[in-house]
Structure 1
Amino acid sequence: MSAWGLGRRTAVRAEPVERAPAVAVSQVSKVYPGGVRALDNVSLTVWPGTFVAVMGPSGSGKSTMMHCAAGLDSPTSGSVRIDGREIAGLDETCRTELRRDRVGFVFQAYNLIPSLTLEDNITLPLRLAGRSPDRQWMHALVERVGISGCLGRRPAELSGGQQQRAAVVRALVAKPAVVFADEPTGALDLHSAHQILQLLRGLVEEFHQTVVMVTHDPAAAAWAHHAVVMADGKVIDALEAPTAARLADRLIALGGR
């Protein structure tokens, strides 16, 4: 069992008290119509500059937790803060604005628009918000992920790995407080998946980004600095410097519960 313990907030990396967590989920529950409890009093703190994986078997609540933490869904009770701002009570318009300004998303599906060039796909969310991209920052990201020669091409001309790299840049171009990645390697071959995970880890360490990744894959979660394991809507364990073997053993043990 993790030294962080259960029944307390699960915290990732100690930071100076004057800094706000990138994400702070406190005693969050989510109950759907019919009494289905997807989350049961979940607390999790993610500090800036960390890569956190959230794991668990199907139905564990990991995706619901991410949706509530990212402002895509509202919890039934509890508090959710992104970069110090409470979002649990915001209306949909305000949540949309907060997601646009402070949250990035990377999904299993690349969600690139086929008729647009890669550069236009990357900058589209900013342009829709009436903002101009920081060109220096964007080109630093593009160089770092290795797609600088592809900006004028359309998604169909690129490999899956290249498209996902573009999706990562799109998630980061607005300088969000946190990037949520939902099974970001699920549609990729092993080689491309390895490259994307290496890229996410590198962006965290080199640019002090914050990434929260939901995955069912112990090998993917092992790239994170920390892993949180969920079951039955609760955080049941937290591991520092996780390995694929430890995480796989933990999931096997859950299967026998």
Structure 2
Amino acid sequence: MRRGGSADIRPAPPGQVIGLDRVTKVHRTGTVAVTALDDVSLTVPRGTFLAVMGPSGSGKSTLLQIAAGLDTPTSGTVMVGDTDLGSLNEARRTVLRRDRIGFVFQGYNLLPSLTVEQNITLPLRLAGRAPDQEWIRALVDRTGLDGTLHRRPAEMSGGQQQRVAIVRALAARPDIVFADEPTGALDVRSSGHVLTLLRQIVDELGQTIVMVTHDPAAAARAHEALIMADGRIVDVIGDPTAQELAGRLSSLGGR
């Protein structure tokens, strides 16, 4: 990762999936203004597993929301491949998120009335796209969900549900997956399985993942960890260790 147009939705070039250039986000309530992101620039290359960490209120969740097109910056440019998100209306941003971006959340966000298979294919069916059964089968096999496709979420463990959410996020072959505290609701063993899976997806399938986490052990599975404080990027650590990240967070006043 390095710190430092048209309305057409185009594929991401080989080198860059996400690019932010001098992005600022200010939240205003009456006369009170809070700067959540302060002149942030970064690029996320394809095939990267990037962890984003920082104390509470550091701007990490805002960074994810803006990079994913879920929120708009007050100023600056956000690119997904060659597409400037600022050039798209909300309908076009929705199409881009649906077709190019996958999401994994702490709470899984599975529909309890649907089976595993129905949950996985729901976004594709809502988009009017036929699921690539060969690709989904490969993902199901890789994630150890074979034999569970007819179950419902309540019949599965938290770790299994999160793996379903990961397969759902990958079903459309997105350019990038954003994971927001994906292991926050899991026990240590299930967390380890999910994190190993995420790293394998990057290393073996060439997927790009940006993960927001408060957990140094989780962030240590990434290629790089981006550290935020007061809405700015204050450090980027390559091949991080949990001890190194815990120390860096401690120096900033907590998690």
Which TM-score tier does this pair reach, normalised by the shorter chain? over 0.9
Amino acid at match of 2:22: Q
**What TM-score comes out, normalization by structure 2 length?**
0.93
Matched residue SS, 1:255: coil
Partner residue, 2:73: 75
Q: Give the distance between the partners of 1:121 and 1:111, measured in 2 at CA.
A: 9
Amino acid at match of 1:219: A
The 4+ residue runs of structure 1 with deviation greater than 3 A are none
- Segments of structure 1 that go 5 or more residues without pairing to the other structure are 10-17
Query: What pairs up with 1:146-157 in 2 under 5 angstroms?
Result: 146-157=144-155
Matched residue SS, 1:101: helix
Q: Work out whether 1:230 is the aligned partner of 2:228.
A: yes
Matched residue SS, 1:198: helix
Q: 1:24 aligns with which of 19, 30, 48?
A: 19
Q: Give the distance between the partners of 2:86 and 2:37, measured in 1 at CA.
A: 14
Matched residue SS, 1:104: strand
Q: Give the distance between the partners of 1:205 and 1:102, measured in 2 at CA.
A: 19
Partner residue, 1:126: 124
Amino acid at match of 2:111: I
Q: CA deviation at 1:44?
A: 1.3
Amino acid at match of 1:234: R
Amino acid at match of 2:240: P
Matched residue SS, 2:55: coil
Partner residue, 1:14: none
Amino acid at match of 1:79: T
Deviates more, 1:177-186 or 1:91-100: 91-100
Q: 1:208 aligns with which of 206, 209, 228?
A: 206
Q: CA deviation at 1:163?
A: 0.4
User: Could you report, residue by residue, the CA deviation over 1:165-207 in whole angstroms, capped at 9, with x for unpaired residues?
Assistant: 0000000000000000000000001100010000000000110
Q: 1:54 aligns with which of 52, 55, 72?
A: 52
Matched residue SS, 2:252: helix
Q: Give the distance between the partners of 2:139 and 2:197, measured in 1 at CA.
A: 11
- 8 Å Cα contact 1:121/1:170 also seen in 2: yes
Total equivalences in the alignment: 243
User: Could you report, residue by residue, the CA deviation over 1:3-43 in whole angstroms, capped at 9, with x for unpaired residues?
Assistant: x7xxx51xxxxxxxx63411111110000113110000001
- Segments of structure 2 that go 5 or more residues without pairing to the other structure are 5-12
- 8 Å Cα contact 1:20/1:84 also seen in 2: no
Query: What pairs up with 1:134-173 in 2 under 5 angstroms?
Result: 134-173=132-171
Q: Give the distance between the partners of 2:214 and 2:143, measured in 1 at CA.
A: 24
Q: Give the distance between the partners of 1:215 and 1:83, measured in 2 at CA.
A: 24
Q: CA deviation at 1:84?
A: 2.1
- 8 Å Cα contact 1:71/1:88 also seen in 2: no
User: Could you report, residue by residue, the CA deviation over 1:114-170 in whole angstroms, capped at 9, with x for unpaired residues?
Assistant: 110000000000000000111111110110000011001111111000000000000
Partner residue, 1:115: 113
Matched residue SS, 2:168: helix
Amino acid at match of 1:221: A
Q: Give the distance between the partners of 2:15 and 2:208, measured in 1 at CA.
A: 13
Partner residue, 1:239: 237
Matched residue SS, 1:167: helix
Matched residue SS, 1:161: helix
Q: Give the distance between the partners of 2:54 and 2:87, measured in 1 at CA.
A: 27
User: Could you report, residue by residue, the CA deviation over 1:87-115 in whole angstroms, capped at 9, with x for unpaired residues?
Assistant: 13422111111000000000000111111
Kindly report the root-mean-square deviation, in angstroms, between the aligned alpha carbons of the 2 structures. 1.3
Q: Percentage identity across aligned positions?
A: 61
**What TM-score comes out, normalization by structure 1 length?**
0.92
Q: Give the distance between the partners of 1:20 and 1:76, measured in 2 at CA.
A: 26
